[in-house]
Structure 1
Amino acid sequence: MAGRASLFVMVALVVIGGAAWRLHWAADAAIPTTKPVARIPVQIAAVSRGDVPVSLTGLATVQPLNVVTVRSRVDGEIMRIAYAEGQTVKEGDLLAEIDPRPYKASLDQAKAQQAQDEAQLANAERDLARSQQLAQSAYASRQQVDQQKAMVAQLTARVAGDRAAVESAEVQLAYTTIRAPMAGRVGFRLVDKGNLVRASDATGIVTLSQVQPITAVMTLPERHFGDVSAALKRGEVRAWAIDPDGRELGAGELSVLNSQIDQATGTFKAKATFANGDGALWPGQSVSVRILIDTLQNVVTAPDDAVQRGPDGAFAYVLKDDSTADRRKIAVARQADGVAVISDGLAAGDRVVTAGASRVQAGARLDAAEAPQAEAGARPGEGRAAQ
């Protein structure tokens, strides 16, 4: 009897234990085993529509518009230096004077010879007149008249030569005063007062550079030649000079393309001219020159950072209304200055991911924040070079 009771108790315990285990398993099964999907933090910006400037940038070297090495046209001693090194001079300003006394003496001598020959010519003309009157009365022969005419002609030619000699002497005397042939800035003095200069000297007296206006010769890839040439044919092509720190040094315009393309480097040269009123540009200075060759009208634009690249081409992640990402295939017409021109795939008003896209996949839930506001594109004098 006692054994049966013990067996009953053991069976009851097994049943109770099994029931408790099933209740525990059921409770565990009721607890969710998956965690909620985390949102991916990203920055977004709106796609817009507007005008986009098309510009090109090339490295350039600043060059004077004109450079003149001022030399002496006559031999002589430098009596005066009338400029200071680095001075800005106007056209016609006195630069130097050469001892004029030898040339003044030559001029006086030429004038004296001219006066003498003119007096002889006047006397010969009077003799000719008298001979012609006597010939009419048969008191003078035809031969005498002809000889007197020859004398007048000879003296007339001599007087003409004297006048040329006087003019030449005046020119030589004028060359002793050396004046600036143009407005510009003088360089270092090459000859000091008291030195003897000659017309055959190669060094000259001073170098004069025209820096207002001034030019910059830039180099551009050959593939852009057609675009730049077409822009020049349409009209004025604006240009901006930029220093290595990105500061604008001056605005001007593209003035000329070089006559040929350098086949060795695949580049061509172009020259831009700047007023340089503040003297910010200096001969020999290295700058970047940006030229505005076109403006794309009413195009769809997105921030450059929104464009992603994959095996099948360019794409962008678009934020949908339910805060999920839509992977959108796009066509990029141009990408420069922080702006991408989109020809297909996006529309004005779309919101695209500009930061954090490396973690995004199609359908991912996004925690979107507006990207910092930026200009739709750098103005022609700023920003990165167009490629």
Structure 2
Amino acid sequence: MAAWKQLLLALVVVIAAAAAWVKFFPGAPEILAGWGIGSASVDARPRSEEPRRNSGPQTAVITAPVVEAVINDRLSAIGTGRANNSVALKPYTSGRLTKIEVISGRRVETGTVIALLDSELEEVALDRAKIALADAEAKLERVRSLRTTNTATQVQVTDAELVVGNARLALRDAQLNLDRRAITAPIEGIIGILPVEAGNYVTTDTVIATIDDRSRIKIDFYVPERFAAEMAVGDSLSASPIARPDEVFAGTVSAVDNRVDDKSRTLLVQAEVPNEGDTLRAGMSFRVLVKFPGDTYPSVDPLAIQWGTDGAFVWVIRDGKARRTPVRIVQRNTESVLVAAEGIAPGDTVVTEGVHAVRDGAEVLVARAQPSAAIPAAPAVTGSGS
């Protein structure tokens, strides 16, 4: 191809590119006007359109309401249940079991005989003490009779009375030793499985039986130290067995420890729940839920949170204008963010979409407002079990 043809083709391509740039690039007329080219076409625009171009359209945004949310109003902890009163029976003395008087799983009253130890020696000692007491009392009567005739002295009477007193103490001691050969229930409750049988030799360290008074179940659980000042005896709570979560039992706080554990930074708390149907057992695990007044904060949509050089902020709409409001994030949840700020309160409106075009003090056009949805309750703070 000849050189002049190539030059002509290149010129046509350049002119076409320039025309396309002028037509499709939004700022091309202003740039040409700055170069002194095409000023007439720019100035030829109707004057009626000038104010509308300078003022510009309002920024279209999507907003959401600020609602109120409560946190730190619930505490969930795992605790371990135990009987209201529990006793492990051990004999006072060693010996061989001769008879077991109860059956495992039965309710026993206070004083019920659980088992008997061999007691022949104690019975002999008791009979000997009775004979000694009778002899001492007879001697005392004879001395007193002699004293009336001045045959015996007052010292002899006093010695005889002392002998009687010692004989009575010996009788009480023998009776006590015999009584302790019978192992009795010190409390009312349900007797557990007996680990011994008749004929076994037992000592003072042998557990004969366990008795649980489970009319009420005590639950030991631990709470974080920030709730230490909130826990008080008499506070209401609810407890559910882990194995049967659909069952809920109302209870109260029965005891609060006097110090926070310095290793776990938790406080031991004890609760009581009634066991009227006798469905609960010692050793069961429970989920305990305690409610508090809690702390109230404004809650916004997570999309409303923006970040600047000075931290987090939101755009609050007031009188149709956007106001930049710094906030401090208190808690992040899946569907909401709890904030603390002086310039925001429940009932305000914040920008959630279109924030990139919002300027402080500029008017905004609300294209769509999200409905006010109920903020889900903040997750309960979890404590540890015992």
TM-fit CA distance, 1:367 = 4.5
Alignment of 1:1-387 (within 5 A): 47-48=67-68, 54-74=73-93, 75-85=95-105, 87-99=106-118, 102-131=121-150, 145-146=152-153, 149-198=154-203, 200=204, 202-222=205-225, 224=226, 227-229=227-229, 231-232=231-232, 236-242=234-240, 249-263=248-262, 265-277=263-275, 278-279=277-278, 281-294=280-293, 299=296, 301-302=298-299, 308=305, 310=307, 313=311, 329-331=326-328, 340=338, 342=340, 344-350=342-348, 363=358, 367-370=368-371, 373=374, 377=377, 383-385=379-381
Distance in 2 between the 1:173 and 1:339 partners?
Answer: 74
Amino acid at match of 2:191: V
Counterparts in 2 of 1:346 and 1:242: CA distance versus 1, 3 Å: farther
In the alignment, is the contact (CA less than 8 A) between 1:217 and 1:270 conserved in 2? yes
Q: 1:301 to 1:170 in 2, by over 3 A?
A: farther
TM-score, L = length of structure 1: 0.63
Q: Secondary structure at the match of 1:188?
A: coil
Q: Distance in 2 between matches of 1:239 and 1:59?
A: 13
| Mapped contact 1:92–1:182 kept (Cα < 8 A) | yes
- What amino acid is aligned across from residue 155 of structure 2 in structure 1? A
How big is each residue's C-alpha offset from its partner over 1:228-274, in whole Å with a ceiling of 9 and x where there is no partner? 23653xx63333335559656433333334344433x2413312221
Q: 1:290 to 1:343 in 2, by over 3 A?
A: farther
SS at match of 2:141: helix
Distance in 2 between residues matched to 1:164 and 1:248, nearest whole Å: 57
Q: Deviations over 1:173-206 (max 9, x none)?
A: 33233332223343321111332333x2x13101
Q: Check 1:123–1:145 CA distance in 2 against 1; reply closer, same or farther (3 A cut).
A: closer
Task: Please tell me whether the aligned partners of residues 97 and 178 of structure 1 are also in contact (alpha carbons under 8 angstroms).
Answer: yes
The more displaced of 327-336 and 104-113 is 327-336
SS of structure 2 residue aligned to 1:83: coil
In 1, Cα distance between equivalents of 2:279 and 2:339: 34
Distance verdict in 2 for CA 1:221–1:300, change over 3 Å: closer
How has the CA–CA distance of structure 1 residues 98 and 386 changed in structure 2, closer, same or farther, with 3 Å as cutoff? closer
Structure 2 vs 1, CA of residues 113 and 325 (structure 1 numbering), >3 Å: closer, same or farther?
A: farther
Residues 162/340 of structure 1: CA separation in 2 closer, same or farther (3 Å cut): farther
Q: After alignment, is 281-290 or 189-198 more displaced? A: 281-290
Cα deviation 1:330-376 (Å, max 9, x = unaligned): 346678998948563433333568xxx6997575966555466467x
Local SS of the residue matching 1:73: coil
Q: Deviations over 1:293-331 (max 9, x none)?
A: 5455xx555379688574655556768898x99875434
1:182 aligned counterpart, secondary structure: coil
SS of structure 1 residue aligned to 2:197: coil
When the two chains are superposed, the root-mean-square deviation of aligned CA atoms in Å is 4.7
Q: Distance in 2 between matches of 1:351 and 1:89?
A: 68
Q: Mark the CA change 1:41 to 1:343 in structure 2 (over 3 Å): closer, same or farther.
A: closer
Instruction: Name the amino acid aligned to 2:255.
Output: V
Aligned partner of 1:138 in structure 2 is none
Number of residue-to-residue matches in the alignment: 322
Please, what TM-score do these two structures have when normalized by structure 2?
Answer: 0.63
Equivalent position of 1:10 in the other structure: none
1:56 Cα deviation (Å)? 3.5
Q: Percent identity?
A: 22
Q: Which residue of 2 aligns with 1:5?
A: none
Distance in 2, Cα, partners of 1:186 & 1:359: 72
Q: How many Å separate the matches in 1 of 2:301 and 2:287?
A: 22
Structure 1 ranges of 4+ moved more than 6 A: 39-42, 303-307, 317-322, 324-327, 333-339
CA distance in 1 between partners of 2:99 and 2:261 (Å): 49
The gaps in structure 2 that reach 5 residues or longer are 1-19, 25-59, 359-363
Q: 1:329 to 1:386 in 2, by over 3 A?
A: farther
| Correspondence for 1:19 | none
